[in-house]
Amino acid sequence: MAIVYVDKKPYQMNPDENLLHGCLSQGLKLPYFCWHPALGSVGACRQCAVKQFKDEHDEHGKIVMSCLTPAKEGTRISIDDPEVAAFRSAIIEGLMLNHPHDCAVCDEGGECHLQDMTVMTGHDYRRYEFDKRTFRNQNLGPLVNHEMNRCIQCYRCVRYYRDYAGGDDLNAFAMRNTVFFGRHEDGALENEFSGNLVEICPTGVFTDKTLKRHYARKWDQQFAPSVCVHCALGCNIDSGERYGTLRRVVNRYNHEVNGYFLCDRGRFGYEFVNSDRRFLYPLLKGQLTSAVQARFHLTESVTNGRVIGIGSPRASLEANFALRNLVGPQCFHSGMADGEAKLVGRMLDILRQGSMRTPTVCEIEDCDAVFILGEDITNVAPRMALAVRQSVRQQPMEIADELKIPLWMDYGVRDAMQNAKGPLYIATPYRTRLDEIATATFRAAPDDLARLGFAVAHALDSSSPSAEDFPLAGEIAHALKAAKKPLVISGTSCASEPMIQAAANVAMAAHAALSFTAPECNTVGATLMGGNSLSAAFQAVQDGQADTVIILENDLYRRAPAAEVDSFLETAAHVIVLDHLSNPTAEKAELVLPAGTFAESDGTLVSSEGRAQRFFQVFVPRNDVSASWRWLKPDHWHNLDDVLGAMATALPQLAPVRYAAPSASFRLAGAKIPRSPHRESGRTAMLVNIDVSEPKPPDDPDSALSFSMEGTPDKPPAALIPFFWSPGWNSIQAVNTYQKEIGGPLRGGHAGVRLFEPAPVNGQCYFNAIPPAFAPREGEWLLVPMFHIFGSDELSLSAPGIAELAAKPFVAMNTTDLPEGAEVDVICAGTTLRLPVRLRPDLPPGVASLPAGVAGITLPIWGKIARTT
């Protein structure tokens, strides 16, 4: 650490960073706009000026930008010097000349970085009396709102969108002193990470359009720490509620997982919680019934029937365990499609018994050679794709190092790199968004992708088996071998066990990290819990061994062919479903129990990294909605800690899950942690239509969080941070004050607990089940799944903004026989689907593609495609 003197006081600062980073890490108040810890410095706004002195005798000094000046040993600066304070005040006055000062009607008001910095700088009087420059705003689609007049030209938006996230439809359009940040024409932003503009823009230019539909100020929302439920990566979120409506989701910084950014599915998919398709009361034979009656019916069914339970990879560990406990381990089924359960089981065996580390998302950013086998990660594990976009900068950044350009000097580094990209190889059945930054791509059917993987492993280590020599295999092997931190990514998308094994061989041979994607938010947790297969559940009912089925948060029509599910549900005498939203399975239930979503219940999810993370309810559920585990629990489990304790005893492999977050008895300075901000207004009037006296806030027996603004103002443990807010820091950039060092871990420790780490090297053997080469069939197509960030996830599809952007059903084909849009019948698995053709010349011969999640069809599968007459 270097000693830097700020206003004559010594501070320890990281010498590899700049002075702004150092000052903020020390809690000093220094305003800034264009710098961002994830984007680095460009010196565009001049707001972070400080005075720098040559030595202790220098009285005069010179004004420098702290974000552009290294924190070298012995540096002497002043923040308080009157000349530099006046400079910063003049700068913000200039930046604000055309700003509309419309805080009262601005969605950012009260949580605005510009407001915070204006106050910090002391600019409190407007002298400018002339006409302001104005712009026409654009319609940027259903997710992000645009109000350009509030812009202060800091350029963060385009730097984030283009340089960091790889978007190309947002830019700065400039003429003289008029600079416009937007698209070349109205239209939905195309980048999958556009929602981060809401947090990146320091003003109210880009705001959350979904929040606008049910707006509440930050101080009027109640928050809870939570985990995204829309893919398996487990990004950390804070959810905000008012009057029983979930208002929005914001990023909850987790240094090791999502850092500062979420994908748009994760940020905007939350609106399914407010859907009018929610179950709010129990339904018995299609009629509303009371919770008491529903519980009685559930108990009767369990007591008198031969019961089996079907769990779910999108339900919490606690909910799955409560069902397992109710029906007994022998009668519990994991609820995953058979093939998927087997594949994920293999993946976990590899990760738990092998020596390859499954990296955090943060570690993926640091990898310097990546091989992706069979996965379109932008659409399957989006935040991972954003990390891979940063990883391709690692090798070229060595040029900047050699030129002694500090890595935080963003434009200097980018100039030195000249768009150079490090090694990224992508082998998938169809083109992916990341192809544009790939060193090379390879298109083939799943079996041939697996064969490529085996060949790469063989090129790395000749003792590993291979059947064929692919020209690209040697190049990929060379890149992985030369890298300091190589990474292999694969997963379940192609439903190919040989591909998973090939990826493991490559990682073993290259001594690389290995990351597997998984389909749903708790796929890994459900697999660790175990359970019988779904087909065994079907068989049990068919054979008469069971007559009553309890289905937990699971639409079985997404797991198995429709005919099989139909027969299963019709044969079972009693079908009981717990779920949030109506779906084809729930429609066939005798009894439906309204299950709390992530916003109304507490629980634990295990991410594809193997990280168990706790989510907490943000509001007490309305009507009869209750956490699934509460519907299913025995009387002697009183709170979440009781469920976790029982689970740790029954399933030792899940015992560490208890430490994913502090227990309900945790107190900070003797108090609970408030979900409501201390500036919450109107609390006493909220329920005045019911009672003029302020009612006691509801108790929360399950967590150390209170439904109130009372509690300790200290920084809570990382897993319990409901919102980021500090004196003088009202925007989300208050996170600065929660970090040990800016951009580093939180002071409150880590959120979540990793359930598996690499085993010591123990003579691990290579897999050798190499599949035969793919052979196209005459008159048939191999149908593989195509994933979409908007549309492939079941729950987010019920959010209106996501539904608007979701891909409509199609069949993608590489053919010259049919025109784009021609209607065809796709015949497979005993089903005929009429779909329009989407021409995709990137698909290999003999391979066609359907959107993932097509009901009742387990892909890949062979099918016929016939033109309709």
d(CA 680, CA 698): 16
Q: Can you tell me which residue has the tokens 């500036």?
A: 679
Closer Cβ to ligand FES, 3 or 63, answer by number: 63
User: Whole-number minimum distance, CB 173 to ligand FES, in Å?
Assistant: 21
Closer Cβ to ligand SF4, 202 or 412, answer by number: 202
**β-sheet bridge partners, residue 239:** 224, 249
Q: Which does 827 bind (CB under 5 to 8 A by kind): ligand FES, ligand SF4, none?
A: none
Q: Check residue 160 for interaction with ligand FES (CB under 6 A).
A: no
Q: Check residue 434 for interaction with ligand SF4 (CB under 6 A).
A: no
Closer Cβ to ligand SF4, 35 or 707, answer by number: 35
User: Whole-number minimum distance, CB 793 to ligand SF4, in Å?
Assistant: 7
Q: Check residue 181 for interaction with ligand SF4 (CB under 6 A).
A: yes
Closer Cβ to ligand FES, 32 or 206, answer by number: 32
Q: Which does 44 bind (CB under 5 to 8 A by kind): ligand SF4, ligand FES, none?
A: ligand FES
Q: Under a CB-based contact definition with an 8 Å cutoff, are residues 251 and 732 in contact?
A: yes
Handedness of CA 711, 712, 717, 722 (dihedral sign): positive
Kindly report the three-state secondary structure assignment for every residue of 595-634. ECCCCCCCEEEECCCCEEEEECCCCCCCCCCECHHHHHCC
Q: Check residue 231 for interaction with ligand SF4 (CB under 6 A).
A: yes
Q: Which stretch binds ligand SF4 (CB under 6 A): 200-208, 305-313, 667-675, 738-746?
A: 200-208
Longest dimension (CA), the chain: 92
- Helix (H, G, I), strand (E, B), or coil: what is residue 487? strand
- Helix (H, G, I), strand (E, B), or coil: what is residue 38? coil
Q: Check residue 449 for interaction with ligand SF4 (CB under 6 A).
A: no
Q: Contacting ligand SF4 (CB under 6 A), which of 157, 476, 606, 782?
A: 157
**β-sheet bridge partners, residue 613:** 605
Structure tokens at 732: 């989300």
Kindly report the three-state secondary structure assignment for every residue of 674-693. ECCCCCCCCHHHCCCCCCCC
Q: Which stretch binds ligand FES (CB under 6 A): 46-54, 96-104, 311-319, 757-765?
A: 46-54
Cα(first)–Cα(last) distance of the chain, in Å? 75
Q: Under a CB-based contact definition with an 8 Å cutoff, are residues 391 and 507 in contact?
A: no
Q: Which does 266 bind (CB under 5 to 8 A by kind): ligand FES, ligand SF4, none?
A: ligand SF4
Q: Check residue 382 for interaction with ligand SF4 (CB under 6 A).
A: yes
Contacts for 57 with CB less than 8 Å, ≥ 6 apart: none
Q: Check residue 52 for interaction with ligand FES (CB under 6 A).
A: no
Q: Contacting ligand SF4 (CB under 6 A), which of 205, 336, 438, 556?
A: 205
User: Whole-number minimum distance, CB 552 to ligand FES, in Å?
Assistant: 50
User: Whole-number minimum distance, CB 228 to ligand SF4, in Å?
Assistant: 3
User: Whole-number minimum distance, CB 518 to ligand SF4, in Å?
Assistant: 11
Assess whether the previous peptide bond of 860 is cis (omega < 30° from 0): yes
d(CA 260, CA 199): 9
Q: Which does 157 bind (CB under 5 to 8 A by kind): ligand FES, ligand SF4, none?
A: ligand SF4
* Dihedral of the alpha carbons of 722, 735, 233, 558, in degrees to the nearest 10: 40
d(CA 861, CA 814): 17
Q: Check residue 152 for interaction with ligand SF4 (CB under 6 A).
A: yes
DSSP symbol at 160: I
Q: Contacting ligand FES (CB under 6 A), which of 44, 85, 651, 861?
A: 44
Among all residues, whose Cβ is closest to ligand SF4? 266
Q: Which does 262 bind (CB under 5 to 8 A by kind): ligand FES, ligand SF4, none?
A: ligand SF4
Contacts for 334 with CB less than 8 Å, ≥ 6 apart: 311, 313, 320, 341, 526, 527, 529, 530, 531, 532, 533, 534
Q: Which does 370 bind (CB under 5 to 8 A by kind): ligand FES, ligand SF4, none?
A: none
Q: Which does 798 bind (CB under 5 to 8 A by kind): ligand FES, ligand SF4, none?
A: none
Q: Contacting ligand SF4 (CB under 6 A), which of 183, 297, 383, 630?
A: 383
Q: Check residue 46 for interaction with ligand FES (CB under 6 A).
A: yes
User: Whole-number minimum distance, CB 491 to ligand SF4, in Å?
Assistant: 13
Closer Cβ to ligand SF4, 13 or 154, answer by number: 154
b/e 760-771 (16+ beta carbons within 10 angstroms → b):
eeeeeebbeebb
Q: Which stretch binds ligand FES (CB under 6 A): 37-45, 189-197, 639-647, 658-666?
A: 37-45
Closer Cβ to ligand SF4, 258 or 501, answer by number: 258
Q: Which does 67 bind (CB under 5 to 8 A by kind): ligand SF4, ligand FES, none?
A: ligand FES
Q: Contacting ligand SF4 (CB under 6 A), which of 84, 92, 263, 438?
A: 263
User: For residue 310, which of 582, 632, 601 has the smallest C-alpha distance?
Assistant: 632
Q: Contacting ligand SF4 (CB under 6 A), which of 154, 409, 449, 734?
A: 154
Q: Contacting ligand SF4 (CB under 6 A), which of 123, 247, 265, 614?
A: 265
Chain positions 1 to 30 lying near ligand FES, rule: CB under 6 A, are 20
**β-sheet bridge partners, residue 427:** 373, 442
Q: Check residue 614 for interaction with ligand FES (CB under 6 A).
A: no
d(CA 108, CA 722): 19
Contacts for 790 with CB less than 8 Å, ≥ 6 apart: 264, 265, 796, 797, 802, 805, 806, 807
Site string for ligand SF4, 111-150 (x = CB under 6 A): ----------------------------------------
User: For residue 347, which of 851, 809, 767 has the smallest C-alpha distance?
Assistant: 767
Q: Which does 265 bind (CB under 5 to 8 A by kind): ligand FES, ligand SF4, none?
A: ligand SF4
Q: Can you tell me which residue has the tokens 């065996």?
A: 349
State the residues that interact with ligand FES by CB under 6 A.
Answer: 20, 32-35, 43-48, 65, 67
State the residues that interact with ligand SF4 by CB under 6 A.
Answer: 151-157, 181, 201-203, 205, 228, 230-231, 233-235, 258, 262-263, 265-266, 381-383
